[in-house]
């Protein structure tokens, strides 16, 4: 339902008007002013909605409408005069066996402070040695993001003090990153407007992670297992305009890293972290508004919600004439209260005193190396979507099937075994994903293979079993596997399509239900369904439904 927010300057009152609710103005008589039905997406002055001419005159006389905003409760506030500028920074932990600069394992979830050594603990006299796999995965990701991959790049020291940073500096890449000037294409789901968007990638660079801090009342606790784990930081251009687009961009980055095997992209485990930069500016204005950074979002929907909240907060301040209060700062998203909250405001920008890391040489890639990685790169989600679209599937189907690497691999398997595209898509989208969701499993954990599903679909297509029987067989196949054909035979579920056999059952049904026959002949033609149902039941669900429909109709007509 549309909500109309009206800012009334002269009485300093802000009110939200629901459809049809009366508004009382302070100081006015007791008679409330009635606002008529509000249309969605309308930015109409409430004055025009007042029913009577005299009421409109009173309104115009006393109040100045400063701003009308029509808000959709489901989507972000659609500001008629503000544009939102959003950029994302995504940190992905790379899928390497060891840390970036030492041989400690980079495995997640171990006992705290067990995967450490003098190098990652920053002990004096130690030297970093670069992990080859870090370069390979970063190069691959740079190519996947359509970036210019620098044939020569270097590491720099980013210096600051913090308890989770053993060396007092983070080894990162400052002015010459491994990848720059890329872009990705994001496909919005139909319920969010649909269509493709191209989002620019400013840069992607290699760096190392810091330890993990947890805060107690009077102190903090550090686990250095994570210190030195390799990260790829991907910075987008400020090309996104809504929270939804930003969430979809983050989802696409996750899809890419998972399809390529570059990272787990697990936001809850911390192997993928997103920071958002949001600012607003009036439409038509060239310069950007003040940028606010938001951290601490654990899911894609949290990203969308945090951005929507922050946009509301900023436009609210600007509308109230308090635009100066929007400061260049970092805010934390609070999932409980659904608000962004300020951290202590920093005075000025941080000075990291970057200088080139003297303990590491430049990273030089030759053309053969880059080409080899490009050739060996797995299929990208966007390429997968194109392939599926070309098969004739609808966009919603394409988005579901190409969302997850395991599901799309399974779908490819089913097609390779010869199944019909649309049937396979429907089975996976519907019954299979439904089962996996209910059982909280993923496709790798069930016994059903692509070939099995193809066989099942073939049995339905050639009439051996009905679709309904197929659905009944699915859980067994999921849990135990095996051949669908053998299962059908062992359970005796082969569909009855023999006319004489069906007629026998129908005759029996008709003769044992004389009352319903009488009612049917008397005019209750709807009772045909009763007969069909009874026949199906009598055959143990095995009768060919279409044939039953036709034969029952024939028999009943013959009786008339």
Partner 1 sequence: MTSNAMTVKLVSMSGTRPQLSGYQSGRGFSQRPCIRVSRPGRQSSVHFLTRAEGKASGIDPPDIRKLAEMARLEVTDEEISDWTPKLEKITEWFGALSDADVADVEPALRGSDASEGTTRADVSQTFAERNSILPSEHRNGEFVVVPKVLNEGEQ
* Binding of partner 1 by 288 (CB under 8 A): no
Between 208 and 455, CB nearer to partner 1: 208
219 binds partner 1 (CB under 8 A): yes
d(CA 113, CA 212) in angstroms, rounded, equals 10
- CB closer to partner 1, 365 vs 401: 365
Q: Binding residue for partner 1 (CB under 8 A) from 215, 437, 440, 515?
A: 215
Cβ at position 237, least distance to partner 1 in Å? 11
Please pick, from the candidates 151, 485, 491, 555, the single residue that binds partner 1 as defined by CB under 8 A: 151
Q: Name the minimum Å distance from CB 240 to partner 1.
A: 16
Return d(Cα 402, Cα 415) in angstroms, integer. Answer: 14
> With contact defined as beta carbons under 8 Å apart, do 173 and 155 qualify?
yes
Which of positions 534-553 make contact with partner 1 (CB under 8 A)?
none
CB-based burial of residue 186 (10 Å sphere; 0-12 exposed, 13-18 middle, 19+ buried)? buried
When the beta carbons of 346 and 546 are compared against partner 1, the nearer one is: 346
Q: Which of 104, 106, 138 is nearest to 118 (CA)?
A: 104
- Residue 404 has a CB neighbour count (10 Å cut-off) of 17
Q: HSE of 433 in the Cβ direction (CA atoms, 13 Å)? A: 17
Give whichever of 210 and 552 is closer to partner 1, judged by the CB atom.
210
Site track for partner 1 across 160-179, x = CB under 8 A: xxxxxx----x---xxx---
Stretch that binds partner 1, among 76-84, 210-218, 304-312, 437-445 (CB under 8 A): 210-218
Find the binding residues for partner 1 in span 111-140 (CB under 8 A).
111-118, 121, 123, 129-133, 135
Contact characters 265-284, partner 1, x per CB under 8 A = --------x-x---------
Site for partner 1 in 301-360 (CB under 8 A): 330, 343-344, 346, 349-356, 358, 360
Give whichever of 156 and 187 is closer to partner 1, judged by the CB atom.
Answer: 156
Closest separation in Å from C-beta 405 to partner 1: 22
Footprint of partner 1 on 490-529 (CB under 8 A):
none
Q: β-strands 292-295, 329-334: how paired?
A: parallel
> C-beta of 303: minimal distance to partner 1 in Å?
17
Give the residue with the Cβ less far from partner 1, 150 or 477. Answer: 150
Q: Judged by CB under 8 A, does residue 203 bind partner 1? A: yes
Q: Nearest approach, Cβ of 344 to partner 1 (angstroms)?
A: 4
Segment 381 to 420, residues that bind partner 1, using CB under 8 A: none
Nearer to partner 1, 352 or 435 (CB): 352
Binders of partner 1 in range 355-384 (CB under 8 A)? 355-356, 358, 360-369
Find out whether 66 and 7 touch, Cβ atoms under 8 Å. Answer: yes
| Spatial separation of the C-alpha atoms in residues 507 and 559, rounded to whole Å | 11
And the tokens for 504? Answer: 């026998």
Largest CA distance in the chain: 102
Count the neighbouring beta carbons within 10 Å of the beta carbon of residue 39. 12
Closest approach of Cβ 260 to partner 1, in Å?
A: 16
Nearer of residues 161 and 283 to partner 1, judged by Cβ: 161
- Residue number, 43 or 97, with CB nearest to partner 1: 97
Strands 156-159 and 339-342 turn out to be unpaired
Partnered with residue 340 across adjacent β-strands are 333
Long-range contacts of 323-331 (CB under 8 A, 24+ apart): 326/289, 326/290, 326/292, 327/290, 327/292, 328/290, 328/291, 328/292, 329/292, 329/293, 330/292, 330/293, 330/294, 330/295, 331/292, 331/293, 331/294, 331/295
| Interface with partner 1: number of residues (CB under 8 A) | 83
Which segment (19-27, 145-153, 183-191, 417-425) binds partner 1 by CB under 8 A? Answer: 145-153
Query: What does the buried/exposed string (b/e) look like for 269-304 if buried means 16 or more CB atoms within 10 Å of the residue's CB?
Result: ebbbbbbbbbbbbeeeeeeebbbbbbbbbeebebbb
Question: Taking the complex as a whole, how short is the minimal distance between the CB of residue 7 and partner 1, in angstroms?
Answer: 34
- Helix extents (H) in 377-498: 381-390, 395-401, 405-416, 421-427, 433-439, 450-461, 467-480, 484-490
Pairing mode of beta strands 65-71, 82-93: unpaired
**Would you say 275 or 397 has its CB closer to partner 1?**
275
Residues 22-81 that bind partner 1 (CB under 8 A): none
Sheet order of strands, 65-71 included:
13-17, 3-8, 65-71
Site map (CB under 8 A) of partner 1, residues 234-253, x = contact: -x------------------
């Amino acid at each position: 339902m549309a909500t109309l927010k009206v800012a009334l300057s002269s009485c300093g009152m802000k009110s939200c008007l629901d459809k049809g609710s009366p508004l009382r103005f302070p100081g006015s008589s007791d008679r409330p002013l009635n606002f008529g039905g509000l249309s969605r997406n309308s930015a109409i002055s409430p004055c025009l909605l007042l029913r009577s001419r005299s009421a409109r005159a009173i309104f115009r006389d006393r109040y100045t409408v400063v701003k009308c905003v029509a808000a959709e409760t489901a989507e972000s506030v659609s500001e008629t005069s503000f544009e939102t500028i959003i950029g994302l920074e995504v940190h992905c932990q790379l899928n390497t066996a060891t840390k970036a600069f030492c041989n400690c394992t980079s495995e997640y979830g171990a006992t705290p402070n067990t995967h450490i050594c003098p190098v990652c603990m920053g002990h004096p006299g130690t030297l970093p040695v670069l992990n080859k796999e870090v370069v390979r995965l970063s190069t691959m990701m740079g190519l996947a993001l359509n970036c210019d991959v620098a044939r020569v790049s270097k590491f720099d020291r980013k210096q600051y003090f913090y308890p989770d940073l053993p060396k007092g500096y983070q080894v990162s890449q400052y002015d010459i990153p491994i990848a720059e000037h890329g872009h990705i294409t994001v496909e919005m789901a139909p319920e969010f407007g649909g269509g493709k968007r191209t989002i620019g990638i400013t840069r992607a660079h290699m760096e190392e992670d810091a330890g993990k801090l947890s805060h107690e009342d009077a102190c903090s606790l550090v686990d250095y297992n994570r210190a030195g784990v390799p990260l790829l930081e991907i910075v987008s251009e400020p090309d996104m305009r809504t929270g939804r687009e930003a969430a979809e961009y983050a989802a696409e980055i996750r899809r890419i890293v998972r399809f390529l095997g570059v990272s787990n992209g697990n936001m809850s485990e911390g192997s993928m972290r997103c920071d958002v930069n949001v600012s607003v500016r009036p439409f038509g204005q060239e310069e950007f508004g003040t940028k606010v950074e938001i951290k601490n979002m654990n899911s894609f929907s949290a990203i969308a919600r945090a951005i929507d909240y922050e946009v509301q907060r900023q436009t609210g301040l600007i509308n109230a004439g308090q635009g100066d209060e929007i400061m260049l700062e970092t805010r934390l998203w609070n999932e409980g209260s659904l608000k962004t909250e300020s951290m202590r405001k920093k005075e000025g920008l941080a000075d990291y005193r970057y200088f080139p890391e003297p303990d590491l040489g430049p990273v030089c890639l030759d053309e053969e190396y880059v080409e080899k990685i490009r050739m060996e790169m797995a299929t990208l989600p966007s390429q997968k979507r194109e392939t599926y679209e070309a098969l004739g599937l609808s966009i919603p189907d394409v988005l579901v099937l190409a969302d997850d690497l395991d599901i799309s691999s399974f779908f490819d398997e089913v097609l390779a075994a010869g199944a019909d595209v649309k049937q396979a898509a429907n089975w996976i989208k519907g019954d299979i994903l439904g089962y996996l969701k209910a059982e909280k499993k993923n496709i790798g954990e069930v016994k059903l293979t692509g070939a099995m599903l193809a066989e099942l679909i073939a049995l339905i297509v050639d009439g051996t079993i009905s679709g309904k029987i197929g659905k009944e067989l699915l859980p067994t196949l999921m849990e135990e596997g095996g051949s669908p054909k053998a299962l059908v035979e062992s359970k005796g579920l082969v569909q009855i399509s023999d006319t004489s056999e069906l007629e026998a059952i129908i005759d029996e049904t008709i003769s044992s239900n004389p009352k319903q026959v009488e009612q049917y002949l008397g005019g209750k033609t709807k009772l045909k369904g009763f007969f069909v149902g009874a026949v199906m039941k009598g055959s143990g669900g095995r009768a060919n439904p279409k044939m039953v429909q036709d034969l029952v109709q024939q028999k009943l007509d013959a009786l008339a």
